[in-house]
Structure 1
Amino acid sequence: MKKILALAAAGMLAVPAHAEELEVALEIPRLRIAEYHRPYVAMWVETESGKTAATLNVWYDTDAKGEDGRKWLPDLRTWWRRAGRAMTMPADGISGPTRAPGQYRVRHASGSKPLSALAPGNYRLQVEAAREVGGRELVTIPFQWPPRRAATASARGTTELGTVRLITRP
């Protein structure tokens, strides 16, 4: 530890001034239905007034056979109206393929996209899922940025999403 501190003091080790972190843990539930399609999922941060501050992740069919999977992004209605229609997909570091039922974690640190432009204040994490021949669901979790101390908040979906947990760390 002393060696690390000495290297940092000598300017030989990069130590971030602050490295706040936002982690989203979410569950895509297994549904017992005849025709199952993986859901499209969008995760974004919005201000208390409902303005999009940052899109964190968009999972969609990036390998659609015979058609462009972006065609169905408007099914994520809330995200699409607030931010999606203005974005070009695929978006580096944001877009990715749909996920099978299971537990997933995504992390974003301050100073890196998409959180680099997030000003201090009160926000809401929005997680929306939409599935072909299925439903659509939106889960909201309020939080403060930057976090003063480590905090965890969660919400639970009823159909397309299971538990969504937001962990913020200073």
Structure 2
Amino acid sequence: MKLSHTLALSLPLASGWAMAADLSVKFELPQLNVAEYHKPYVAVWIERADQTVASNLSLLYDVKKKDNAGEKWVKDLRTWWRKAGRDAKLPIDGVSGATRAAGTHTLSFGPAVNGLDKLPAGDYKLVIEAAREAGGRELVKVPFAWPAKGKLAANAAGKEELGAVSVQIQ
């Protein structure tokens, strides 16, 4: 089942290239009451207004599985896979990391990470997708304008595989 949630957010734009900023993504992976719980694979990326990928921020999967067997299930992150994953060589340096257990997690990205400092001014969406073996899949989108003048905070929430999602730009 594909669920998509969007929170609208608009900030003033500056002309030209974006200025440096720190971006932080906080997300909740709910503990589900199921017989066999598997940690979800999670992809976090920034999408342009035309829905192409502007920057891959994070890909969390079973990176330590013997013989790279964890890569086999990355395609279950179907939206990310179609947009960026099938052309990527895994693991992606500076992007790939281990899956996370149920709970609240924060990922932080400095201005030079993943090209954020070169992101042109415009409208974007932070997208987070989670997929779990023997479970569901969910996608949450948080629109924002880049660069942010001052601090930006936006929140959204999933309903099954993702809980609360918040984005902060400073």
Larger-gyration structure (1/2): 1
Q: Does 1:34 align with 2:28?
A: no
The equivalent residue for 1:44 is 45
Q: CA deviation at 1:62?
A: 1.0
CA distance in 1, matches of 2:111, 2:122: 14
1:57 partner amino acid: S
* Match in the other structure for 2:54: 53
Which residue in the other structure is 1:75 paired with?
76
TM-score, structure 1 normalization: 0.85
Deviation per CA, 1:40-87: give whole Å up to 9, x if none.
000000011101100000000112246610011110000000011111
**DSSP 3-state at the match of 1:125:** strand
Post-superposition shift, 1:19? 3.6
Provide the aligned length of Structure 1 versus Structure 2.
152
Contact 1:108/1:114, CA 8 A, preserved across alignment: no
- If asked which structure has higher relative contact order (CA below 8 Å, sep 6+), I would say 2
Give, in whole Å, the separation in 2 of the partners of 1:116 and 1:100. Answer: 31
**TM-score normalised per structure 2:** 0.85
Q: CA deviation at 1:33?
A: 0.8
**Could you list the runs of 5+ residues in structure 1 that have no partner in the other structure?**
1-17
**Runs of 5+ unmatched residues, structure 2:** 1-18
What displacement does 1:99 show?
0.3
Distance change (3 Å), C-alpha of 1:72 and 1:111? same
State the distance in 2 between where 1:79 and 1:116 align: 22
Q: Does 1:92 align with 2:93?
A: yes
